Amino acid sequence: MFEYCNLWFEFDNLRLRKGFYICGMSNTFTIGGDLTVHRMGYGAMRITGDGIWGPPKDHDQAIRVLQRAAELGVDFIDTADSYGPKVSESLIAEALYPYSEGLVIATKGGLTRPGPSQWHQDGSAKHLREALEGSLDRLKVDQIDLYQLHRIDAKVPFEETMSFLQDAQENGFIRHVGLSEVSVAEIQAAEKYVKIVSVQNKYSVDYRHWEAELKYTAAHGIAFIPWYPLNAGNVEAIHVLKEVAKELEASPNQVALAWLYHHSPNILLIPGTSKVAHLEENLGAVHLKLNANQLERLNALSAVKK
Ligand SMILES: NC(=O)c1ccc[n+]([C@@H]2O[C@H](COP(=O)([O-])OP(=O)(O)OC[C@H]3O[C@@H](n4cnc5c(N)ncnc54)[C@H](OP(=O)(O)O)[C@@H]3O)[C@@H](O)[C@H]2O)c1
């Protein structure tokens, strides 16, 4: 069911469980014209406590997940200052610093966390300055590879938020700028200040609200990074996914990721997990081949749920 890998990959075939093999890695996408990463990355939000608050229940497993991801060739990790808060970024540095060449860490600013499961927007220059300084410090870098505005804050003039990002980029603290949960009109408005190289919007096989944004980013060479690519773990229960998974001797989560991977070449995947076994399973998804009939049934899901 999985193809044998291209020979240029440096690690051996990995047996996951009977009949499941990861062979090599995903193909690549170049972010902002100079950061080439494999399209199957890792989202580091789940290595925190419940409600994305505080330290993880199992610190050692969180470290192992990050190190295993790097070992298996993941070179794109998504995080945010607000995951924990501060916990996810600190664990990334603890597990992976000094970073191997080519590892791209994308973080975000623009949300504050008064408590578990609470997320408040703050796009003021004052907050973003503190957030960016904190991220640079915790990640132990002089420049953030990709800094994503977590949310546009309607309470703050757009000019203030975007001018801060523009200055931070001009001063070398940010290499590239991305946005999260934005419309085409918002991307175009932001592009008056800085080049936008990535858009991170909620999107999965069963949630296609941002189809126009996916098309816009694909047409403009912008990375599209779906958050909740597994719909927060809820795709497992979808009947069609279970059917296709059975046909391919795979798991429904792998089918959901494979559908995204084949849906558009500018999609970068960042499935989140706190477990090594799930990480390994998810990475294997890029080698699933979906036939025309399977694609048709999965595509039809969009008619069911937007
Ligand atoms: N920009 C934004 O506003 C925003 C919002 C949310 C998330 N994000 C980013 O997007 C990334 C992905 O989103 P997400 O982590 O929230 O959701 P997700 O990737 O859709 O799903 C993660 C959930 O699925 C479970 N899971 C993962 N792999 C599994 C497997 N193979 N088998 C069974 N369960 C599995 C995880 O539990 P286990 O831990 O038990 O594996 C976790 O509960 C985040 O890590 C974060 O970097 C961004």
pLDDT tens across 104-130, in order? 999 999 999 999 999 999 999 999 999
Kindly state the average pLDDT of the residues 42-54.
98
pLDDT of 303 reads: 63
Residue with token string 């899901």: 301
Residue 285 alpha carbon to ligand 1 centre in Å: 15
DSSP letter at 165 equals: H
pLDDT of 304 reads: 59
- Say if CB 177 and CB 195 are below 8 A apart: yes
Decide if pLDDT at 222 tops 70.
yes
pLDDT of 19 reads: 31
- Say if CB 52 and CB 31 are below 8 A apart: no
- Say if CB 162 and CB 150 are below 8 A apart: no
- Band of pLDDT at residue 13, cut at 50, 70 and 90: very low
Within the chain, residue ranges assigned H as helices are 59-71, 87-96, 125-139, 158-170, 184-190, 211-219, 239-248, 252-263, 276-283, 292-299, 301-304
Residue 7 alpha carbon to ligand 1 centre in Å: 30
Decide if pLDDT at 170 tops 80.
yes
- Which residue has the least CA distance to atom 21 on ligand 1? 232
- Which residue has the least CA distance to atom 37 on ligand 1? 273
Host H or E run for residue 156? none
Does 193 qualify as catalytic in the annotation?
no
Rounded to whole angstroms, the Cα distance separating 11 from 280 reads 14
Rounded to whole angstroms, the Cα distance separating 227 from 202 reads 5
Which one from 4, 21, 42, 83 is the annotated catalytic residue?
A: 83
Within 6 Å (CB) of ligand 1, which residues are found? 43-46, 78, 180-181, 200, 227-233, 253, 270-275, 278, 281-282
Residue 78 CA, closest ligand 1 atom number? 47
Q: Does pTM top 0.85 for this prediction?
A: yes
Decide if pLDDT at 279 tops 80.
yes
Kindly state the average pLDDT of the residues 142-159.
98
Residue type at 181? E
Q: Which of 114, 115, 132 is nearest to 123 (CA)?
A: 132
Residue-wise pLDDT for 244-263, tens only, equals 999 999 999 999 999 999 99
The per-residue pLDDT of the chain, averaged, comes to 92
Residue 204 CA, closest ligand 1 atom number? 20
Residue-wise DSSP of 14-62: EEEETTEEE-S---EEEETTTEEEESB-EETTSSS-GGGBSS-S-HHHH
Kindly state the average pLDDT of the residues 169-190.
98
Enumerate domains of the chain plus CATH numbers: 14-304 (3.20.20.100)
Cα-Cα-Cα-Cα dihedral sign, residues 176, 116, 122, 141: negative
